[in-house]
Structure 1
C-alpha cells in the first residue's frame, strides 16, 4: 500500500495537547512520493502549508549546512541491525547477554 493512502488517517491522528494555547501544525514537509494534487489539497484544507518536493526537481545540494538528519525510527532500526546479538541471543552465558544490553 502506498503511503499516499494513509495521509488522511495520519493527519487525523495528530495529537493536539490541551493547555493554555493549542498548537496545530502549520507546516508539513513531504518527499517526492507525496507529489499529488489531491494530497496537496487535503493538506491545504486543514490550513497546513505543504512543503512537497516535486517530481523531477533537482536536489538541493549545497543549500543546507551540515549533514541531513535521519528520522528516529531509521536510527533505531539501524542500531538494531548493527547489534543483532541483542535481537537473537547468541551468547551461551546470561551475563554476557546482559552485558550487551
Structure 2
C-alpha cells in the first residue's frame, strides 16, 4: 500500500506518481513476480483518475488501469457486473473509523503519517486473518 500526505484540496491525479513511488520495495518485488508468472497487475480507480497522465504512468509501469468514467459503472451494475473499486472505497471507510485520523489532532505531519501507516497495517493484518 502506498500512502502520500497532501492537502484535501489537491486533486488525485497529481498524486499518482508519488503514491506509486511510495510503494515499499517488497510490493514492487511481488508485482514483478506476479507479472513473471503471467498475471496482470491492475489498479482500480474512480472517475477522478480518468486522465491521460494517469493512464500513461500506469502503462509505463506495465499495469492495467481499471478506470470507469462517470455513469458507466451504473450501467455495468444494471448489466449484472460487480464494481471493481469497492475494495478501495471500503478501505477508505475503515480508515475513517479511526477517530485520530478522522479529526486530525496531530499538528505534525510525521505523527499523522505514522498513525495512518499504523491504521493501514492494522486493516491489512485484520484482512489477512479474517479475509
Normalising by structure 2, what TM-score?
0.48
Please list, as runs of the form range in 1=range in 2, the aligned pairs for 1:24-39 lying within 5 A after superposition: 24=31, 26-39=41-54
How many residue pairs are counted as aligned between the two chains? Answer: 76
Q: How far apart in 2 are the matches of 1:55 and 1:63?
A: 16
Listed as ranges, the gaps of 5+ residues in structure 2 are 1-9, 33-40, 100-131
Partner of residue 20 from structure 2, selected from 4, 8, 11:
11
RMSD: 2.9
Q: Please state whether the residue corresponding to 1:54 is helix, strand or coil.
A: coil
Compute the displacement of 1:58 (Å): 4.0
Q: Post-superposition, which runs of at least 4 consecutive aligned residues in structure 1 deviate over 4 A?
A: none
CA deviation map 1:28-70 (0-9, x unaligned): 1111110011110111101111111123424232423xxx551
CA deviation after TM superposition for structure 1 residue 78, in Å: 3.7
Name the one with the larger helix percent. 2
TM-fit CA distance, 1:76? 4.0
